[in-house]
Structure 1
Amino acid sequence: MTDTAPPDFVVAIPARYASTRLPGKPLRLIAGEPMIVHVARRAREAGAREVVVATDDARIADALAPLGVTVCMTSSDHASGTDRLAETAAQRGWSDDTLVVNLQGDEPLAPPAAIRAAVDALIASGAPIATLAQPISGTDELFDPNCVKLVRDAQGIALYFSRAPIPWHRDAFARDRVTLPAGPWLRHIGLYVYRVGALRQFAQMRAGALEQIESLEQLRALEAGWRIAVALSPEPFPAGVDTEEDLARVERVMRDG
């Protein structure tokens, strides 16, 4: 039997200092270390051959210096993390075939196994983009517009993403919106894997009507006819950090082990 070599991929972490809800978010301390340090460490644990933090603020670069993580200084004018990653790919000279994971800088609890699962999904599907999902736990989550839902086909390819509850259970929700009926309810996890060539193309595409209506960047790809492979996270993928309450939650998780 011949052992299969692990996939070769890089992880790029967009990290912007400014945040309306949590100023200086990448540098907020969790268990005594800046949050961005925890995220970079998770990326390394996933087996990436290269981990790059893409930022526009020297303070973030300074915080990462003790860890020896590569920092790519990018424009402060980017509208999204995807645009920042496209500039990073150009600066680093990554080839069009390079697999790059877009791991958000506010995901200090990202499971390394989930990062690898998304990479595997891209390779197995041949799709230009892959992402992750996990089952929704209750109706509060299902009906929360901040929780992005998705549906996928029998091959695991995304059919649609929405802030609304999808699929809509016509009969069950007509009677009761408190009890979650059995069904394929999935929460989207905002981690993406691209081949760099697809990343460059995507960053140059204009936002479509669906993206503008739902304010979901991934709908730009679906509206253009691109396939997005969706892997189920092999272990729970906790929500990222947006608020002081989120910081306290992550601190508890790390403290309690």
Structure 2
Amino acid sequence: MKIIAVIPARYASTRFPAKLMQDLSGKPVILRTYEAAVATGLFDEVFVVTDSVIIYDAVTVSGGKAIMSMKEHESGSDRIAEAVEHLDVDVVVNVQGDEPFIDSEPLAKLIQVFKADTAQQVDLGSLMCQITAEVDINNPNVVKVVVDQNGFALYFSRSVIPYPREKNVGVRYFRHIGIYAFRKQALLDFYRLPMQSLEASEKLEQLRYLEFGKKIKMVETTHAGIGIDTPEDLDKARTIMSYKL
């Protein structure tokens, strides 16, 4: 089984323009993320997929592997699908470009889902972590997921799911962490399928997979990730990196 990591990397960013090219202790954020993915030792190959010549050059000049995206895409899945369409690969893991402090343990658990899936019932794997704070449960920017008894996703929503009509019945709330592992065919299917009403309403691309019957296996983790979305996040990342170097 050939397993690769793909890091989608857009230069433009609404909240923090060019964040992936910001300096993080002597190297751009995207290069730090790329090197961290390679250092896990989990992948046969690691690629950055980008629509930016600036990002492409930053990675390749340093000896990394990058693929230029030829088309405009609405989602990360679309961008990754275009990149891997002609690659000989079985499982593709999507690593977030703005998370340079990669924890290998949850990624290893995602990969194990596919190694253990001898019947090939799993189309995608993804991560979730428990949330208990009311502010997070009610926050529409925190995407929630509910799963069945076997850990397969039933639905994702920005709303509170399940709705707590009855209290004290042991319901656990889970935040979806947007790291995915895909079978290659699931990615290619997504690329060719149209957006449906649920995805359009919630603005959550993973709903397209569910709407067309794909099986998403969720893996629980306590690692929520350290993303860089603002200049303040970058300052914190620089402090963390200073302890690691």
Give TM-score, length-normalised by structure 1: 0.86
> Aligned equivalents of 1:253 and 1:149: distance in 2?
28
1:105 aligns with 2:97: yes
Are residues 162 and 38 of structure 1, via their aligned partners in 2, closer, same or farther at CA, if it must alter by over 3 Å?
same
1:138 equivalent to 2:138? Answer no
- Residue 3 of structure 2: which of 2, 5, 9 is its match? 9
Hey, what's the Cα distance between the residues in 2 that align with 1:159 and 1:123? 22
What secondary structure does 1:171 align onto? coil
Q: Deviations over 1:105-133 (max 9, x none)?
A: 11222312211211222343431111111
Please report how far the alpha carbon of residue 66 of structure 1 lies from its aligned counterpart in structure 2 after TM superposition. 5.0
- C-alpha deviation, 1:230, in angstroms: 0.5
Deviates more, 1:212-221 or 1:19-28: 19-28
Q: Give the Cα separation in 2 of the matches to 1:187 and 1:75.
A: 33
Indicate how the Cα distance of structure 1 residues 136 and 254 shifts in structure 2: closer, same or farther if over 3 A, else same. farther
Asked if structure 2 preserves the Cα contact closer than 8 Å seen for 1:45 and 1:112, the reply is: no
Question: 2: CA distance between counterparts of 1:113 and 1:82?
Answer: 23
Query: Structure 1 84/255 Cα, relative in aligned 2: closer, same or farther at 3 Å?
Result: same
With normalisation by structure 2, the TM-score equals 0.90
2:166 is paired with a residue whose SS is: helix
Structure 1 residue 61: deviation in Å? 1.8
Residue matched to 1:94:
87
Partner of 1:119: 111
Corresponding position: 1:163 with 2:158: yes
* Cα separation, 1, equivalents of 2:137 and 2:62: 38
Kept in 2: contact 1:132–1:189 (CA 8 A): yes
Contact 1:9 1:49 in 2 (8 A): yes
**2:17 maps to which of 16, 23, 26:** 23
Contact in 2 for aligned 1:75/1:84 (Cα 8 Å): no
Say yes or no: does 1:249 pair with 2:236.
yes
CA deviation profile, 1:142-164 (whole Å, cap 9, x unmatched): 11111111011111100111111
- Is it true that 1:196 corresponds to 2:184 in the alignment? yes
- In structure 2, the residue matched to 1:36 is 30
* 1:145 alignment partner AA: P
SS at match of 1:150: strand
Contact conserved, 1:131 with 1:230, CA < 8 A, in 2?
yes
Q: Give the number of aligned pairs.
A: 240
1:83 partnered with 2:70:
no
| Displacement after TM superposition at 1:208 (Å) | 1.1
Distance between the aligned counterparts of 2:207 and 2:224, measured in 1? 22
> Secondary structure at 1:170's aligned position in 2?
coil
User: Which blocks of at least 5 consecutive residues in structure 1 are unaligned?
Assistant: 1-6, 174-180
- Aligned partners of 1:10 and 1:51 also within 8 Å: yes
1:238 is aligned to 225
**Aligned residues with identical type, % of pairs:** 36
Instruction: State the distance in 1 between where 2:217 and 2:128 align.
Output: 10
Counterpart CA distance in 2 for 1:19 and 1:205 is 26
